Amino acid sequence: MVAVRSAHINKAGEFDPEKWIASLGITSQKSCECLAETWAYCLQQTQGHPDASLLLWRGVEMVEILSTLSMDIDTLRAALLFPLADANVVSEDVLRESVGKSVVNLIHGVRDMAAIRQLKATHTDSVSSEQVDNVRRMLLAMVDDFRCVVIKLAERIAHLREVKDAPEDERVLAAKECTNIYAPLANRLGIGQLKWELEDYCFRYLHPTEYKRIAKLLHERRLDREHYIEEFVGHLRAEMKAEGVKAEVYGRPKHIYSIWRKMQKKNLAFDELFDVRAVRIVAERLQDCYAALGIVHTHYRHLPDEFDDYVANPKPNGYQSIHTVVLGPGGKTVEIQIRTKQMHEDAELGVAAHWKYKEGAAAGGARSGHEDRIAWLRKLIAWQEEMADSGEMLDEVRSQVLTTGCMSLRRKVMLLICLRDQRRWTSLTTSTVMSDTAASGQK
């Protein structure tokens, strides 16, 4: 059973839903009441079920993960109910009557993503028409509502947490799937908060010896490292205040997988890494970022080969930040990231930062703009290119999409984009997609 945080346990040793909901940071009282009602419904539906505890706590974990991304109440309710629907404890038809269409549509979209494994098929695999249809429905769900994807990522993280004490083969299977499919998806969508946890769990299960070795090294030197960073940050804050640059400056945690990957990529020992000591500067305005960079380089010698300006040249997933490595006191290297608050939110929340839904809005409601939607589709293209070869399976899906009369032009265009046909995408003007999407939103 998934461990429940002690803060959510009452004096009788029982899970306290009120304390739990209060800890999620939901500002709307109506939304809190709605989530409490959904929890009560889950308790009722799982009464007497042999896996009741597992299903309930999996939902709790998913909701907690999604709440850190500031997801809307429909998403949180769908996450809480998803384990029950996925285990066939309650049908979608019954749920539709109880919790409404918008929540059930999300659950259905997440369940359709079970077809994601079939994207690994190549032209040598035998693919049934049912598999093709499953993949088509999955991609449509991903295109129509990004929340389905984010719920699925949260579900996979909850699963990785659950299998911590499971047999090794079960842990390895879960980790391989997430390494091949879900971590790249989280990366492409720019959701740093989920990406790091997926990668660290996968590394822990697939390379346990290396994971423990790096974790031990980090722990042994933690106090010295924290003291060093505290003094370094204090000096930087004072210098920026003196120059009138408004920004937050703080030490940032390092993820074990990223440390290991850099050791492998650059053939470095742990002591030779530049970014074990890491600092982040978050400024109000873009000009403050470059002013902060000037202050850093004025007071500390930087290593030119380790400088990257991802603000001027963003990464393919949209990530923006200035990276520099300097020699701090005692000649120790410190990696510094400099970004605006908006860039920081984008880096942590990804697509969720751009497409926040208003409380109570219907599924498929107004989004932030056509440009964001097209950017979202391009991210799906890039991820799908990592996932599959252009073999018979994808050709068959394309064929069926083009000949499906009941599917709207908007959906055909969007799904074709997701199927990575770049020539078709180039030939379709952005204005055509925008005008069709706008027309659909006015209906």
What pLDDT score was predicted for residue 114? 75
Cα separation, 11 vs 367, whole angstroms: 44
- Give the dihedral sign, CA 384/389/394/395: positive
**Does residue 28 share a domain with residue 61?**
yes
What pLDDT score was predicted for residue 222? 81
Cα separation, 52 vs 61, whole angstroms: 14
Q: What is the pLDDT along the chain (443 residues), one digit of tens a residue?
A: 334 454 566 655 578 889 999 999 898 999 999 999 999 999 999 999 999 999 999 999 999 999 998 899 999 999 999 999 999 999 999 999 999 999 999 999 898 887 666 555 444 444 455 655 555 556 655 666 788 889 999 999 999 999 999 999 999 999 998 988 888 888 878 888 899 999 999 999 999 999 999 998 888 788 888 899 999 999 999 999 999 999 999 998 778 898 898 888 888 888 777 667 899 999 999 999 999 999 999 999 999 999 999 999 998 878 899 999 999 999 989 999 999 999 998 888 876 665 543 333 333 444 444 455 555 555 655 565 555 544 444 454 444 433 444 344 444 445 555 544 444 434 443 334 444 444 444 44
**Does residue 178 share a domain with residue 267?**
no
Cα separation, 348 vs 319, whole angstroms: 10
**Does residue 148 share a domain with residue 74?**
yes
**Does residue 185 share a domain with residue 230?**
no
Token pair of 87 as six digits: 């285990």
Cα separation, 336 vs 279, whole angstroms: 5
**Does residue 253 share a domain with residue 197?**
no
pTM above 0.95, yes or no: no
**Does residue 343 share a domain with residue 278?**
yes
What pLDDT score was predicted for residue 168? 95
What pLDDT score was predicted for residue 128? 57
In a domain, 1, yes or no: no
**Residue 178: count of CB within 10 angstroms of its CB:** 25
**Does residue 50 share a domain with residue 76?**
yes
Cα separation, 218 vs 201, whole angstroms: 17
Q: Between β-strands 333-340 and 278-283, what pairing exists: parallel, antiparallel or unpaired? A: parallel
In a domain, 201, yes or no: yes
Cα separation, 229 vs 396, whole angstroms: 56
**Does residue 61 share a domain with residue 116?**
yes
Residue ranges making up the domain that contains 400: 366-442
- Among 323, 349, 375, identify where a domain stops: 349
**Does residue 105 share a domain with residue 193?**
yes
Radius of gyration of the chain (CA): 24
- Among 299, 315, 349, identify where a domain stops: 349
**Contact 300/277 with Cβ under 8 angstroms?**
no
**Does residue 413 share a domain with residue 333?**
no
What pLDDT score was predicted for residue 425? 39
**Does residue 244 share a domain with residue 370?**
no
**Contact 352/76 with Cβ under 8 angstroms?**
no
Cα separation, 325 vs 306, whole angstroms: 6
**Contact 222/256 with Cβ under 8 angstroms?**
no
Instruction: Please enumerate in sequence order all residues whose Cβ is within 8 A of that of 304, keeping only pairs 6 or more positions apart, or say none.
Output: none
Q: How many independent structural domains does the chain possess? A: 3
In a domain, 234, yes or no: yes
At 327, which CATH number? 3.30.460.10
Q: How many CA atoms lie less than 13 Å away from 412 in the CB half-sphere?
A: 16
